[in-house]
C-alpha cells in the first residue's frame, strides 16, 4: 500500500485513507477481505498501477461479467454475418444462372443475361445496379459494425495502456486501438477492411449493359427511284462497294465471286437498284422524323436510309441513284450529314434543324450529280428498321472475385463472434460499468479531466490537485470530436464536392452542343453517349473498370469518416445526458437494472438515414461515371466490326448527386453546432477521461450500476472542504457549480 500512496497525489491518498476508515479499516483476520463496500478494494490495496495490477484486475472483472454469445454486440455481428451470407447467396445464384443460362452461351468469361431491346436492357442494368448498391451498402455497414466491435478494447487492454500513460478509444471506430488489442482481432479487422476494397472497385462493373450501334448507308435517290421503270446504276457507288465487303470472303460488292450472305444486304441492293420499293423492313418517314430518328447518340433500332429528293431524271443524266454516304455508328459527328445544306451557316444543331423542317422550311442537302454539285430538297425518307441487339451482360471473373471477398467477410464475422469471449468495452455504458465496479487507480484524483487534459498533462505523468470548475456554458456536439476527425471528414468531403463540381462543369462544356437550349433530361442516368465519354485511351477493359469504380471506393472511405463523425457526436450527447438526469446504463451484456442494446453508438433513427444516404450516393455515383461498352455492327447486321470499351459519364446524375453531397456535409456541420443536454466534461472517446469520471467514493458499486445513475456534484470529504464529481444513484446529485473547488482537474486552469 505504501508504494501506491507514493504514486498518488497527497490529497488523493488522504481521500483513500478517509474512505478506508469510513468502511471500518482492517480485515477480519489481519489481511482478508473487507466488510461491505470495502470488499471491492481488497485486491487494490496490495497492488500498484503497474503490470501486477493489470494482471489481477481483469481476472476479477471477468468473474463478475460473462457475456452470452447471443446478446449485445454479438447479436449485431451475427445479424451482419447473416446479411453478408444473404448477399453471398444472391451473388452465387446470379453467377450460376448467368453461367448456365441455355439461351445465351458464355463467351470468354462474359455471360449474357438479356439481349434485345435497348430500352429494356438499360432498365435491367439500372435496376441491377440499384440492387448492387443496396447490397454493397449492407456489406459496408456490416463491415463497419464488425470492425468497431473488433477494435473495442477489453478492460485488461485498457489497464495495460493506462499503466503506460496511454489511452484507448471507446465506443467509436479507431485505428489507435489496432496496436493495443490482441493480434487475432487485429488480423480479423484487417481482413474485413482489405476485402472491402475489391468489392467497391469491382462490384458495380460485374453487371453492365452493352449498347449496339449500327453503321449505316445514306443513299440519296431521285424522286422517281422507286417507281416502276426507273433506271438506277450502282456501279458508281464506290463507298458502298468497299464498306459492304462479304463477311466471310472479304470480297467487295461487284467483285467476281462476291456472295450476298445476308438477306438484309440483298434487300438493300434490290432497293438501291430500284427493283423494290415497298417492303415491311423499310418505313416511310417525313423529313423531320428522319432527322430526329437518325440524330441519336447510337443508332440501335434503325439502319440504312434512303433520302428521296426532288431530283428528276433527264436525257442527259437518267440515273435515279445520286450518291451514297457511309456513317459510322458511335462517332460524335454521326449526325453532321443532316446539315449538308446551305441553310446551316455554322455548326450542326439537329434539334433546330428538325424543328425548322417540321415548320415548313425545306431540308436541303448537297450532292454530286454527274460532274456538278447540286443542292436538292429532301421530300421524304425510307428507313430500315432493325431488331435491337443491346445486352445486359455479366463478368464471371469479376463476380468470382466479389464472391471470394464476400465469403472472407462472412467467415471473419462468424469467427469474431465465436472467438470473442472476453468482455469488451464496446459502448459508453460498458466502460462506465467497468470503471465504477473496479476503479482505475491511474486516473484517481482527476474527476473532471477532459480529453485535452489527458493528452497534455496526464500522459506526461503530472499530478493534479483540487481545482475550480470554470465552465459557464454547455458545450456543442462538435467538441466531442477530435480535430483530426473533423479535419479529415470535412476536408475530404469538401474536396470530393469540389472535384465533382469541376468535373460536372467540364462535362457540360464537352456536351455544350447538346445543351444549347436546355439540359437533355431524356438522356437519363447512366446512359451512354457518343460525346459523354472520357478522352483517356484505355489499353484494356480492366483499366476502364478501375477508373469507373474508383469513385465508389472514395465514397466508401468518405462514408466511414462521416459515420465516425456522427458516432463521436452521438457518444458525446449520450455522455451529456448523464449530467441532465438519472439514466440506466446501456450495455452490451445487461444485468438487472441496465438496458440492453443492439446498436453501438448510432441509434436507428440516425443509422437508417445514414445507410440510405450512402446507398443513394453510391447508386448516383454508379450512374454518374460508369463502364461504357458498345458493339459496332456493320450496316447489314452481319457481324460486330469493332468494340468500344471506355468510361462514360452522365451530367444529369452528377447534378442530382452534387447537392445531395453538399446537404450531407452541411447536415454534419449543423449537427455539430447543437448543444449537449447538460453541462459535463468533454471526454470524447478517451478511455482515461471516462475512467477519471467514474470514481464513486463511499458508494457500493453493485448498488450504483444496477440503478439509474447521474454524473454531477457529490460531497464526500467535508473535513477537507473538497467536493467530488462522479456517478451516483442518489437523488441529491446536482450539476457542477461555477467557481466551486472539486477533487479533480479539467481543461480550465486556475
Containing 505, the helix (H) or strand (E) segment is helix 483-510
| Cα 728 off chain centre by | 43
- Please give the average per-residue pLDDT across 466-483, as a whole number: 81
Which of 102-111, 419-428, 511-520, 629-638 shows the lowest mean pLDDT across its residues?
A: 511-520
Higher pLDDT, 662 or 529: 662
Whether pLDDT at 244 is above 60: yes
Q: What secondary structure letter does DSSP report for 745?
A: -
Residue 302 CA to residue 262 CA, distance in Å, equals 17
Query: What is the full DSSP assignment across 551-578?
Result: HHHHHHHHHHHHHHHHHHHHHHHHHHHT
| 8 Å CB contact between 169 and 688 | no
Q: Which segments of 510-560 are extended strands (E)?
A: none
Which pairing describes strands 390-395 and 207-214: parallel, antiparallel, or unpaired? antiparallel
Pair 275, 186: CB distance under 8 Å: no
pLDDT at 135 over 60: yes
Q: Where are the beta strands (DSSP E) in 430-570?
A: 467-468
> What DSSP string runs through 208-273?
EEEEEEE-EEEEEE-TTTTSTT-----TT-HHHHHHT--TTT-PPTTSTT-----HHHHHHHHHHT
pTM, full prediction: 0.75
Query: Given a cut of 70, is residue 612 above it in pLDDT?
Result: yes
pLDDT of 11: 43
How high is the pLDDT of residue 336?
A: 66
pLDDT classification of 271: cutoffs 50, 70, 90: confident
Q: What is the CA radius of gyration of the chain?
A: 38
Render pLDDT for 663-711 as a digit per residue (tens, 0 to 9).
999 999 999 899 888 888 888 888 998 988 888 766 666 678 888 888 8
Residue 467: pLDDT band (50, 70, 90) is confident
Looking up cell 467487295 gives: 252
In the chain, % of residues over pLDDT 90 = 11
Phi, psi dihedral angles at 46 (to 5 degrees): -95, 10
Output the pLDDT for position 517. 45
Burial of 231 (0-12, 13-18, 19+ CB in 10 A): middle
Q: Could you give the CA distance from residue 368 to residue 366 in angstroms, rounded to a whole number?
A: 7
Q: What are phi and psi of 647, to 5 degrees?
A: -115, 125
Cα separation of the two ends of the chain:
32
For the stretch 105-125, pLDDT in tens is 888 888 888 888 888 888 888
27 or 556, greater pLDDT: 556
Q: Is 306 helix (H, G, I), strand (E, B) or coil?
A: strand
Residue spans of the domains in the chain: they are 1-27+34-46, 211-248+261-391
| 8 Å CB contact between 690 and 561 | no
Average pLDDT over residues 174-187: 89
Q: What is the pLDDT of residues 637-662, one digit of tens each?
A: 888 888 888 888 888 888 899 999 99
Positive or negative, the CA dihedral 377, 379, 385, 391 is positive
Q: What is the mean pLDDT of the chain?
A: 77
Cβ atoms of residues 219 and 131 within 8 Å: no
Q: Which residues contact 583 (CB under 8 A, 6 or more apart)?
A: 577, 708, 709, 710
Residue 313 predicted with pLDDT over 70: no
With a cut of 90, say whether residue 404 has pLDDT above it: yes
Amino acid at each position: 500500500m505504501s508504494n501506491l500512496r507514493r504514486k498518488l497525489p497527497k490529497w488523493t491518498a488522504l481521500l483513500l485513507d478517509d474512505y478506508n476508515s469510513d468502511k471500518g479499516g482492517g480485515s477480519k483476520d489481519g489481511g482478508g477481505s473487507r466488510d461491505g463496500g470495502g470488499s471491492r478494494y481488497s485486491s487494490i490495496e496490495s497492488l500498484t498501477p503497474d503490470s501486477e495490477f493489470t494482471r489481477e484486475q481483469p481476472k476479477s472483472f471477468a468473474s463478475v461479467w460473462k457475456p452470452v454469445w447471443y446478446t449485445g454486440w454479438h447479436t449485431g455481428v451475427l445479424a451482419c454475418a447473416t446479411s453478408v451470407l444473404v448477399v453471398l447467396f444472391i451473388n452465387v445464384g446470379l453467377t450460376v444462372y448467368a453461367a448456365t443460362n441455355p439461351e445465351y452461351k458464355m463467351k470468354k468469361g462474359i455471360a449474357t443475361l438479356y439481349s434485345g431491346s435497348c430500352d429494356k436492357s438499360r432498365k435491367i442494368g439500372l435496376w441491377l445496379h440499384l440492387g448492387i448498391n443496396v447490397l454493397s451498402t449492407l456489406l459496408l455497414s456490416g463491415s463497419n459494425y464488425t470492425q468497431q466491435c473488433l477494435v473495442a478494447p477489453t478492460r485488461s487492454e485498457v489497464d495495460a495502456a493506462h499503466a503506460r500513460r496511454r489511452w484507448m478509444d471507446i465506443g467509436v471506430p479507431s485505428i489507435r486501438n489496432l496496436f493495443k488489442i490482441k493480434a487475432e482481432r487485429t488480423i480479423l479487422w484487417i481482413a474485413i477492411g482489405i476485402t472491402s476494397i475489391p468489392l467497391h472497385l469491382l462490384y458495380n462493373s460485374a453487371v453492365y449493359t452493352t449498347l449496339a450501334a449500327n453503321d449505316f448507308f445514306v443513299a440519296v435517290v431521285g424522286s422517281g427511284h422507286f417507281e416502276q421503270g426507273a433506271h438506277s446504276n450502282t456501279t458508281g457507288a464506290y463507298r458502298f462497294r468497299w464498306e459492304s465487303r462479304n463477311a466471310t470472303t472479304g470480297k467487295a460488292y461487284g467483285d467476281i465471286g462476291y456472295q450476298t450472305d445476308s438477306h438484309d444486304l440483298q434487300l438493300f441492293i434490290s432497293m438501291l437498284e430500284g427493283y423494290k420499293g415497298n417492303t415491311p423492313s423499310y418505313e416511310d418517314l417525313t423529313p423531320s422524323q428522319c432527322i430526329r430518328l437518325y440524330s441519336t447518340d447510337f443508332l440501335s433500332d434503325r439502319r440504312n436510309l434512303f433520302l428521296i429528293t426532288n431530283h428528276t431524271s433527264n436525257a442527259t443524266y437518267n440515273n435515279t441513284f445520286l450518291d451514297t454516304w457511309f456513317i459510322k455508328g458511335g462517332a460524335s459527328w454521326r449526325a453532321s450529314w443532316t446539315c449538308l445544306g446551305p441553310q446551316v451557316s455554322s455548326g450542326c444543331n439537329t434539334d433546330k434543324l428538325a424543328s425548322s423542317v417540321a415548320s415548313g422550311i425545306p431540308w436541303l442537302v448537297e450532292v454530286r450529280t454527274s460532274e456538278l454539285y447540286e443542292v436538292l430538297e429532301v421530300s421524304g425518307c425510307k428507313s430500315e428498321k432493325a431488331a435491337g441487339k443491346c445486352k445486359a451482360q455479366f463478368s464471371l471473373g469479376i463476380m468470382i472475385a466479389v464472391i471470394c471477398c464476400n465469403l472472407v467477410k462472412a467467415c471473419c464475422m462468424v469467427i469474431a463472434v465465436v472467438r470473442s469471449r472476453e468482455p469488451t468495452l464496446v459502448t459508453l455504458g460498458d466502460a462506465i460499468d467497468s470503471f465504477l465496479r473496479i476503479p482505475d487507480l491511474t486516473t484517481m484524483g482527476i474527476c473532471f479531466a477532459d480529453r485535452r487534459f489527458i493528452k497534455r498533462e496526464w500522459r506526461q505523468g503530472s499530478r493534479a490537485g483540487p481545482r475550480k470548475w470554470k465552465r459557464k456554458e454547455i458545450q456543442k456536439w462538435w467538441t466531442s470530436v477530435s480535430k483530426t476527425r473533423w479535419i479529415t471528414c470535412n476536408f475530404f468531403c469538401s474536396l470530393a464536392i469540389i472535384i465533382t463540381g469541376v468535373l460536372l462543369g467540364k462535362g457540360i462544356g464537352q456536351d455544350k452542343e447538346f445543351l444549347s437550349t436546355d439540359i437533355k433530361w431524356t438522356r437519363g442516368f447512366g446512359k451512354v453517349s457518343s460525346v459523354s465519354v472520357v478522352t483517356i485511351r484505355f489499353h484494356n477493359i480492366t483499366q476502364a473498370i478501375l477508373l469507373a469504380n474508383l469513385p465508389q471506393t472514395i465514397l466508401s472511405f468518405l462514408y466511414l469518416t462521416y459515420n465516425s463523425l456522427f458516432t463521436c457526436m452521438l457518444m458525446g450527447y449520450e455522455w451529456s445526458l448523464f449530467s441532465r438526469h438519472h439514466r440506466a446504463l446501456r450495455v452490451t451484456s445487461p444485468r438487472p437494472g441496465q438496458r440492453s442494446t443492439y446498436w453501438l453508438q448510432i441509434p436507428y433513427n440516425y443509422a437508417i438515414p445514414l445507410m440510405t444516404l450512402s446507398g443513394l450516393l453510391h447508386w448516383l455515383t454508379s450512374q454518374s461515371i460508369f463502364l461504357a461498352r458498345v458493339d459496332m455492327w456493320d450496316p447489314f447486321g452481319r457481324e460486330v466490326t469493332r468494340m468500344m470499351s471506355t468510361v462514360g459519364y452522365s451530367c444529369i446524375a452528377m447534378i442530382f448527386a452534387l447537392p445531395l453531397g453538399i446537404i450531407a456535409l452541411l447536415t454534419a456541420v449543423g449537427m455539430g453546432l447543437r448543444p449537449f443536454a447538460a453541462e459535463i466534461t468533454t471526454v470524447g472517446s478517451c478511455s482515461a477521461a471516462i475512467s477519471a469520471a467514474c470514481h464513486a467514493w463511499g458508494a457500493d458499486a453493485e448498488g450504483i450500476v444496477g440503478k439509474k445513475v447521474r454524473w454531477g456534484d457529490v460531497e464526500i470529504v467535508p473535513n477537507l472542504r473538497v467536493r467530488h464529481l462522479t456517478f451516483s444513484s442518489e437523488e441529491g446529485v446536482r450539476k457542477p457549480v461555477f467557481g466551486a473547488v472539486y477533487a479533480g482537474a479539467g481543461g480550465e486552469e486556475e
